[in-house]
Amino acid sequence: MRIFFTLSVLLLLSLAGLAQSGQPQVSAIKFYPNPAVSYITFEFPSNYEKGYSFEVYNFLGKKVFEQKNINPKTTIDLSQYYRGIYIFQLRDKAGRIVESGRFQVNK
């Protein structure tokens, strides 16, 4: 039951843009390749402040990566990641989610 709840919350977070405006939001974060095998690169717009943090969660809701004070370009090594879907979140200084999305790891 806990897994179902966690998956439901993550799905709602990834669809937050749709609920707020009635239309899907265009992601300002670029990430490639997707699906990824050995690494994934995230590019953040230059207008994001240095106090923002970037987090990646596996599909069970466990945080597997965190970077505070993001750089314009971040590459994550996926050698220790299992195959599956991962959720990323960009948070502002207050901890609010600014943007979220998902990517797939294939091995």
What 3-state DSSP class applies to 54?
Answer: strand
pLDDT higher than threshold 80 for residue 16: no
In the chain, domain spans: 2-105
**Higher per-residue pLDDT: 6 or 72:** 72
Q: What are phi and psi of 20, to 5 degrees?
A: -75, -40
pLDDT higher than threshold 70 for residue 29: yes
Query: Residue range 69-94: average pLDDT?
Result: 94
For 2-105, CATH number? 2.60.40.10
Encode pLDDT of 48-80 as tens digits.
Answer: 777 899 999 999 999 999 999 888 899 999 999
Sequential DSSP letters for 58-95: ETTS-EEEEEES--SEEEEE-TTPPSEEEEEEEE-TTS
- Which residues, 6+ apart, have CB-to-CB distance to 82 below 8 Å? 58, 105, 107
Q: Which two tokens stand for residue 17?
A: 């843009």
pLDDT at 8: 52
pLDDT higher than threshold 60 for residue 94: yes
